[in-house]
Amino acid sequence: MSWFDDWALTLAVFIPLVGMAIVMLIPSAEEQAIKTVALLASLVTLAVGIGVLADFNYQKTSTLQFQVDKSWISLIHARYHLGVDGISLPMIILTMVIVPLCIIYSWDHFPEPHNPKAFLALILLLEVGMIGTFVSLDLVLFFIFFEVVLLPMFFMIGVWGGPNREYASIKFFLFTLFGSALMLVSFLAIYFLSKQPTFDIVHLSQFAGSGIGRGTQILLFAGLFLGFAIKVPMFPFHTWLPDAHTEAPTVGSVILAAVLLKLGTYGFIRIALPILPQGAQVWAPWIGVLAVIGIIYGALCCLAQTDMKRLIAFSSVSHMGFVMLGIASLTTFGINAAVFGMVAHGLITGLLFFVAGSMQHRYHTREMSRLGGLLISAPKMGWILGFAAMASLGLPGLAGFWGEFPAVLSAFDPSKVANGLLGNTHSALPTFRTFMVIAAVGTVLAAGYLLWMYQRVAMGTPKEEFEHAHLHDVSTSEWIAWLPLILGTVVFGLFPNLIFSITNGAAEHVTKVFGG
Amino acid sequence: MTPYLDYHGLAPEIVLTAVILIALVVDLVWKEAARSVVPQIAGVGLLGTLVPIATLAADGHTRTMFGGAFVVDNYSLAFAAFFVVVGYVSLLLSYDYIADGDYYQGEYYVLLLTSVLGMVVLASSRDLITIFVALETVTLPSFVLAGWRKHDTRSNEAAIKYFLIGVLSTAVMLYGMSIVYGMSGTTLLAGIAAAAAAHQAPLFAVAIALVLGGFAFKVSAVPFHFWTPDTYEGAPTPVTAFLSVASKAAGFVGLLTVVRFAFFPSHLSWQPVLWGLAAASIVVGNLAALRQTNVVRMLAYSSIAQGGFILVPLAVAGSGSSAKVGYEGVFIYLLVYAAMNLGAFACVIANARRTRSGEITSFAGLGRTNPALAVVFSIFLFSLAGVPPFAGWFAKFVMFRAVLENGSTGAVILGVIAAVFSVVAFFYYAGVVRQIWFHDPADLGADTASKLPVALTAALSITLAVVLVIGVYPQLFARIGDLAFRLG
């Protein structure tokens, strides 16, 4: 299987690109052919992913496997270096699963102005960027893939989006671009300051910031923080997210929530923490503060929404707060929780956005005051929405629980080297325990807004205007797109070790520098 | 005494001069019948110039002539090849514009090639007088080209403004050069460098500032940029493309040459000047571009801003090996800028064939009426904004690399200004993209697929290929840059 070991990741990154090229070459009249090619490309990518899953050495999840390390831009010592470990593996599989589901979901109803050719080409380009980011082990390569994601999403929101799409798309782009400009400057500074000038993430993680003074690390970490935190998004950099989600077409929202946001949290785990550990120790409590503010603020905003999609968008802010809290604890336990939270949020919020999109397709509105009685009009969809809401609020036995609960718990016992808000390691314990309590309150609020949403949308009787409207229940393409997400939520909820056993070794490796 | 002449070393200039003369004579003798021939002679002849450049590069031997005033080495060959290719793409942009627009005159091609000849000579110049003569050879034909649309008052205005300010800048530069000569006793750059290492007199600093000021006009750096938007808007669009890329690049090459070979030792005099020019150009260029409604004026301000970015690596070039990082930054940025800006102008020309308008709103709905052109134009605009995976990102990258290689507070401040305003720049480039994709065309019924002429398609293909290939494999340009600035 050595051939596969050498080529698997390159194939996984570039098969969607080939698919995109073919899609572009087919005349736009041949819609069926375009859809088939796009679906095939994403399925072949998934097949490569399954191959990786099968061939992955689960005894050594902390080692980077399937590595490719080739010369790329020798002038600046940037290399084409790819690899997966226990942290990136769940993320690439999540991406590879979500993309074909999105293609299947859009099969029969492409959003206005239609144009499946361009739409599918953009989805495939998105997949290139997303998988590429998760497998890059070179800062320059990472930066390129991180940015590649922006263009397709910009167009997806701007062309296929809702009434306010222009504003939302440019806001999305400018926020992210601003963050990544500072991130790039920090990458270059790391290159010049580290023990040996290199962009290689593996080497830089081994140096663990030696050679870079503490003060400089704090500054550089701030630069990386902006780049990643805007993507996550953390409070107060989250304002692009509700707009982007509200305006984006359903599939755009799903990909945005399920995968794109994770690029930011993944960046923290893969780059910021291991390369600048001293910076991380100092910033940890502040990340924690922003995380818990995000949890509470996101939840409170949810309670104030009238638009269903906007509510789910704010719930993302809240949920990503839990993920960031886990990361801020700088412990193995916290990182495990964060990666689990990323996968769970991807499955559950993806499903929520799918259902919200399908409801909009049927009702032509997302105003919760006009919706109601979904359980009567379309009972199956109503139950699925209920399932997703329960999973999202962290019901034990479903995947959401294992992202949220351990993240809260990780704040009970933060890393010994993490600073507290008073700027020393002694204050860490009270600081993080306070976070824990606040985050726990957040879980209650989550139950509040999700149940409230469910009650308004699904229970009761349909409103007068929709009383006699004949609404299709879940269609075949919707079933195919949603079942894997439902199954994943249940399976990972019942057997969380399926993921924890993969991530644990890698998480230990990341936190070794913080004393475990 | 006859000076030593290395005919191989002079071959590019000789070939180009021969082509110019042939084109001139053919046009004179055959008159109307030459209409279809002269452009071909110009194009093929220009590409023919690449042959001696290639053989010289393969030879790899540094040739010095005229007592050190004219040097053929990797540095000069890299730029000579660059100018020839840029000149060729400008020719491709001009063919149909000149033929269709009733502006045809064979002299157009002769003038354009003469300007390119000046650039090729400039690349090898290592002497103030040679540089001055070369620069004038570049600029004088451009004055005429800018006013090519004789019956259009805007074109006349463009030419007059360009001429008056150009002459003024030349005077300033020449004045500075005369002081430099007076203080160092030589016009050879190498000799000036020796004097610069010894002299720290304030007058020498003033002289350097005057010379740099002259170049600042040529590269339209703020505050010497006032002619740029009006000239760019009034001149025929292919000429604007030529001015904004080739002429501007000539200014940068001249600047780079005098800084690298002559003024480098007294970096305390020139670095603050360039720092100020770079910062002002980035800030003013980007902010002014935000408010434009005409695409050519927008690209004019954008080119001022991009000029600021190109100045950054030079303004922070330190000594020793870090100087090389700075020069490489300028070089790579210039190459990338040339490709993407020429491409953007090609798209403007292509769109104007249909809409007859330069307003940004005239691009509305291009994504539907001509998807291919729309995709290509979007790629150029995103590249100009520095969004990966298009070549622009690498240009910005090498710029930031030079900033952090220097690492001083001043350099970092300039870097932060550049970073913030790259984001601002995205806003106006994206403004055009939004028109293209997010808006409906003004007249859906209108002719949707007016066929692009071959020359324009070729120009688009060349520039697009560079932007895409360099975007994913920048090592190609990086390698040339590395070779051009080796030794030191």
pLDDT at position A88: 93
- Those of residues 462-481 in A touching chain B at CB distance below 8 A are none
% of chain B with per-residue pLDDT over 90: 59
Which chain A residues are within 8 Å of B324, Cβ to Cβ?
A: none
Q: What is the mean pLDDT of residues B246-266?
A: 91
The model's confidence at residue B195, banded by pLDDT at 50, 70 and 90, is confident
Task: Find the radius of gyration of the CA atoms of chain A.
Answer: 22
| Smallest Cα distance from B189 to chain A, Å | 29
pLDDT at position B488: 45
Is residue A451 within 8 A of residue A82, CB to CB? The reply is no
| Torsion angle in degrees (nearest 10) through CA of B96, B358, B232, B400 | -100
* Cβ contact, residue pair B438, A158, below 8 Å: yes
Which chain B residues are within 8 Å of A151, Cβ to Cβ?
A: 382, 387
- Residue B127, strand partner residues: B188
| DSSP track, A144-206 | HHHHHTHHHHHHHHHHHS-TTHHHHHHHHHHHHHHHHHHHHHHHHHHHHHSSS---BHHHHHH
pLDDT tens across B143-194, in order? 999 988 888 888 899 999 999 999 999 999 999 999 999 988 899 998 998 8
Which residue in chain A has the smallest CA separation from B426?
A174
Q: What is the mean pLDDT of residues B419-442?
A: 90
* Cβ contact, residue pair B434, A143, below 8 Å: no
Q: What is the mean pLDDT of residues B421-440?
A: 91
Residue A149 CB neighbours (<10 A): 24
Is B445 a residue whose pLDDT tops 60?
no
pLDDT at position B279: 95
Which chain A residues are within 8 Å of B404, Cβ to Cβ?
A: 185, 188-189, 191-192
| Structural domain boundaries in chain B | 7-484
Beta-carbon contacts of residue B326 (< 8 Å; ≥ 6 apart): B313, B314, B316, B317, B318, B402, B405, B406
* Cβ contact, residue pair A189, B420, below 8 Å: no
Which residue in chain B has the smallest CA separation from A159?
B438
| Structural domain boundaries in chain A | 281-516
Measured over all CA atoms, what is the biggest interatomic distance in chain A, rounded to whole angstroms? 71
pLDDT at position B487: 58
Q: Which of A73, A147, A174 sits opposite B475 (nearest CB)?
A: A73
**Chain B contact present for A4, CB below 8 A:** no
B409 backbone dihedrals φ, ψ, rounded to 5°: -60, -45
pLDDT tens across B309-322, in order? 999 999 998 777 77
pLDDT at position B409: 87
Which residue in chain B has the smallest CA separation from A142?
B388
Q: How far apart are CA B326 and CA B236, in angstroms?
A: 34
A394 backbone dihedrals φ, ψ, rounded to 5°: 90, 35
| Smallest Cα distance from B103 to chain A, Å | 38
Q: How far apart are CA B426 and CA B413, in angstroms?
A: 20
| Smallest Cα distance from A68 to chain B, Å | 17
Q: What is the mean pLDDT of residues B464-485?
A: 88
Q: Which of B388, B404, B478 sits opposite A188 (nearest CB)?
A: B404
The residues on B that touch A, with CB distances below 8 Å, are 328, 367, 382, 387-389, 393-394, 396-398, 400-401, 403-405, 407, 415-416, 419-420, 422-423, 426-427, 430, 434, 437-438, 473-475, 478-479, 481-482
Residues in chain A, pLDDT under 50: none
DSSP B4: P
* Cβ contact, residue pair B400, A188, below 8 Å: yes
Q: Which of B396, B398, B427 sits opposite A174 (nearest CB)?
A: B427
pLDDT at position A405: 92
The model's confidence at residue B444, banded by pLDDT at 50, 70 and 90, is low
Which chain B residues are within 8 Å of A147, Cβ to Cβ?
A: 387-389, 393
Which chain A residues are within 8 Å of B405, Cβ to Cβ?
A: 192
The model's confidence at residue B6, banded by pLDDT at 50, 70 and 90, is confident
Mutant choice from B394, B413, B416, B440 vs A, greatest count of A C-beta within 10 A: B394
Is B446 a residue whose pLDDT tops 60?
no
* Cβ contact, residue pair A158, B434, below 8 Å: yes
Q: What is the mean pLDDT of residues B74-100?
A: 91
**Chain B contact present for A147, CB below 8 A:** yes
Q: For all residues of chain B together, what is the average pLDDT? A: 89
Of the candidates B91, B93, B92, B71, the residue with the CA atom closest to the CA atom of residue B80: B71
Q: Which of A75, A159, A182 sits opposite B437 (nearest CB)?
A: A159
Which chain A residues are within 8 Å of B388, Cβ to Cβ?
A: 143-144, 147-148
- Residue B125, strand partner residues: B70
pLDDT at position B317: 85
Q: What is the mean pLDDT of residues B227-252?
A: 93
Which chain B residues are within 8 Å of A170, Cβ to Cβ?
A: 427, 430, 434
Locate A52 and state its tokens.
């990786």
* Cβ contact, residue pair A147, B393, below 8 Å: yes
pLDDT tens across A267-324, in order? 999 999 999 999 999 999 999 999 999 999 999 999 999 999 999 999 999 999 999 9
* Cβ contact, residue pair B420, A181, below 8 Å: yes
pLDDT at position A385: 95
pLDDT tens across B276-333, in order? 999 999 999 999 999 999 999 999 999 999 999 999 999 998 777 778 889 999 999 9
